[in-house]
Structure 1
Amino acid sequence: MKAVVEGVRIAGLRAVVPSQRHSFVEDPGIFTPEEVRKLAATIGVHERRVLAPPYCASDLCVAAAEGLMAQLDWDPASVEVLIFVSQDADYVLPATACIMQKRLGLPTSTAAFDVPLGCSGYVYGLWIASRLLGGSTARRALVLCGDNATRHLHPEDRATLPLFGDAGSATALEVDPEATPISVVIGTDGAGAPHIFVKAGGKRHCLIPPVASANRAIDPDAAAALERDSRLALNGAEVFSFTLRAVPPLLRETMEHAGTDIDGIDRFVLHQANAFMLEHLRKKVKAPTDKFVIDMQGFGNTSSASIPLAICHSLGRELAERRVKTLMAGFGVGWSWGGMVANLGPMPEPQVVNLPDDYPVLVV
């Protein structure tokens, strides 16, 4: 599917990360020094940010939204679209976006809802928000993308433990008749569902522990299976194969749809899956190294937050000074993918900040 959005601009971005750090380079844990050396070179991660309970992905995103609205001098009453893109809702119900609307002081006229997407979620969220602005009386929107992936990881899973980190982000959009068009390409292939998978937790496979009764003891095998199924399962070989098969055509199709080419793109910012994979993609599409952002050394793979986090961390100063034609592309869990070409900047400098240790938690 393809779309062109007109009359909407991206006004600002902010990312928030936990202050707690963990580095397998400095604290190898279950890995040998040689394994750590190879891991760091391959996945490109030196340390990750880990969100401690009782905080959730929503707390990171709300903090990002509060800081961004203050930076833009936006009155919360002027925001009437709120989209929370995350695989880590606070509760089964209600939608976390409803709780966020109240926390942020947005008006009751706000359209607030969740989009439970991961790696492609940032592009989807921007596309949905921009279309809502273009087809309603709303003038401003917030897209909040964040995940708390570290809580899905098994402490002995050598495939996922060194890779994933936690982060949240906020992106502000507003109606602007002078804005340059935003070009979008979206796709889905549900055949990839089993390859990045948390099986338990939904209604198909509930997280209800086996119950002991007077006549039946807890089945230890069932309990162990439930624990395993509640953790992230990642088939690295299938993910890599999908990425090399689907993403280069996505990048080329997105540029063609936007009427440009590699020379016309200032920066490529893709989902920060792992450094080895990103370098393969860069070579596949023949993008120059200086245009292609690989920035996950200090954060890890942060799922839906990885694109805005990379933009804030790598391009913040540049976006404060000039307009940057940016190709953003998310891809992964689902399989699901999305590409977008948009002009970013000049704007108030996007920032990455730590979540304050005393940040208040709202429990309903």
Structure 2
Amino acid sequence: MAQSVLNNVAIRGVVGAVPGDPVSILDVRSTLTVEEISKVSATVGLKDLYRTTDLQTAGDLCTAAARRLLEALHWDPESIDGIFVVTQTPDHFLPATAFIAHRELKLKDHCLAFDIGLGCSGYVYGLWTAAQFIASGSCKRVLLLAGDTISKLISPEDKSVAVLFGDAGSATALEFDAGAGSMAFVGGSDGAGAENLRVPGGAFRAMPSSETFAEHTDEDGNRRSQRDLAMDGLAIFNFTLQRVPPLVNAVTELRGWPVPEIDLFVFHQANGFILKTIAKKLKLREEQAPINIDRFGNTSMTSMPLLIVDSAANRLRSLEPAKVVIVGFGVGYSWGALATEMSNVMTDLVHVAENTTCSTRLISARS
């Protein structure tokens, strides 16, 4: 696996953004029966989701989070040297969503802007990219935006995914700090798993047509078009159990930390059953690996910053450094992990009004 240790980089703040109010999975449009939904809830750990309206994008949510982050940190937009957006659901094919956020946040022309097209592991790779720019001296301050609106890619008649995914965005502030501890990163990929979590049509391999819009029923009775997300749940489960425990061991060894000494594991919130199985294999204590998929669903790479602002906020706001391991895994296949100390981190979760776009205001903010 690829790996690196980077110095002089600190995470200053993390803000999550969700659209409107939570929706019970019982109220999400799907063809699942109440009995089937109850079974999913018990197995996966789902209760509530957040879903965007038709006019709202991942870029809107991320930009709202970034506005709150800049305000809370008292960072001048002119001081930002880079803004990177991790998303699989961009506002447009082009330009990159980072340029839209750059405009809305009124950043200056010395600021780098680009997108990273990754999913479940994307937050880790975004942090890795931002940290490399800072550690190399190319940037002093970077905003990392990460968000997806996977609900727009889901068929309500596909029982394997209909109530699994929620929508969310986030913004993370990173800054040069000569006194910061090391950041250890480890990652890997396996393109052999590309077919097991994908949207087959709608881009340039299978451009929009009557064929890509046509719906078909698979052997399990799930109905979807080529423009909808298709997932082989068993293959994803097996991949996760094969790759994640060795990934955790590799990154903790690189950082020189025994697993029992880690204060917090921030796992991608893919599935409650999977997370509990991973924790058991690694012999983690319950308090080491919080789970909050019940409150947000699977929000792609955004599940990791959401866990930070929701379940780990009090610990990471402390002045006492916490040993933190952030672990992403999924679509690609792709996996990545970061081991670093975090302290005095500003955190918040904002709720963005329905139909609010990045140029209009938030309805609420919770500090």
Is residue 164–residue 297 contact of structure 2 (8 Å, CA) maintained in 1? Answer: yes
Structure 1 residues 317 and 223, CA gap change in structure 2 (3 angstroms):
closer
Please give the secondary structure, in 2, of the residue aligned with 1:168: strand
Computing the radius of gyration from Cα coordinates, the structure with the larger value is 1
- Residue type at the aligned position of 1:104: L
Matching of residues 207-246 of structure 1 within 5 Å: 207=208, 209-210=209-210, 223-224=213-214, 228-246=225-243
Matching of residues 91-170 of structure 1 within 5 Å: 91-170=92-171
For 1:230 and 1:27, locate their aligned partners in 2 and report how far apart those are by CA, in whole Å: 20
Is residue 13–residue 351 contact of structure 1 (8 Å, CA) maintained in 2? Answer: yes
Q: Give the C-alpha shift of residue 27 in structure 1.
A: 6.2
Structure 1 residues 18 and 27, CA gap change in structure 2 (3 angstroms):
closer
Structure 1 residues 346 and 361, CA gap change in structure 2 (3 angstroms):
closer
Is residue 326–residue 338 contact of structure 2 (8 Å, CA) maintained in 1? Answer: yes
Is residue 120–residue 328 contact of structure 2 (8 Å, CA) maintained in 1? Answer: yes
Aligned to 1:193: 194
Aligned to 1:340: 338
Structure 1 residues 225 and 39, CA gap change in structure 2 (3 angstroms):
closer
Say which is worse superposed, 192-201 or 318-327, in terms of deviation.
318-327
Q: Give the alignment's TM-score, normalised by structure 1.
A: 0.93
Aligned to 1:84: 85
For 2:29 and 2:146, locate their aligned partners in 1 and report how far apart those are by CA, in whole Å: 30
For 1:173 and 1:269, locate their aligned partners in 2 and report how far apart those are by CA, in whole Å: 18
- Residue type at the aligned position of 1:153: I
Is residue 84–residue 143 contact of structure 2 (8 Å, CA) maintained in 1? Answer: yes
Aligned to 2:33: 32
For 1:222 and 1:100, locate their aligned partners in 2 and report how far apart those are by CA, in whole Å: 31
Q: Give the C-alpha shift of residue 194 in structure 1.
A: 0.3
Q: How many residues align?
A: 351
Q: Give the C-alpha shift of residue 223 in structure 1.
A: 4.4
RMSD of equivalent CA atoms = 1.7
Aligned to 2:272: 275
The answer to whether the aligner puts 1:353 opposite 2:350 as a matched pair is yes
Q: Give the C-alpha shift of residue 222 in structure 1.
A: 6.4
- Residue type at the aligned position of 1:54: L
Aligned to 2:281: 284
Find the partner of 1:304 among 284, 301, 305. Answer: 301
Say which is worse superposed, 79-88 or 27-36, in terms of deviation.
27-36
Is residue 20–residue 51 contact of structure 1 (8 Å, CA) maintained in 2? Answer: no
Q: Give the alignment's TM-score, normalised by structure 2.
A: 0.92
Please give the secondary structure, in 1, of the residue aligned with 2:293: coil
The answer to whether the aligner puts 1:257 opposite 2:258 as a matched pair is no
Give ranges in structure 1 of 5+ residues lacking alignment: 211-220
Say which is worse superposed, 87-96 or 144-153, in terms of deviation.
87-96
Please give the secondary structure, in 1, of the residue aligned with 2:61: helix
Q: Give the C-alpha shift of residue 362 in structure 1.
A: 5.2
Q: Give the C-alpha shift of residue 129 in structure 1.
A: 0.5
Give ranges in structure 2 of 5+ residues lacking alignment: 217-223, 361-367
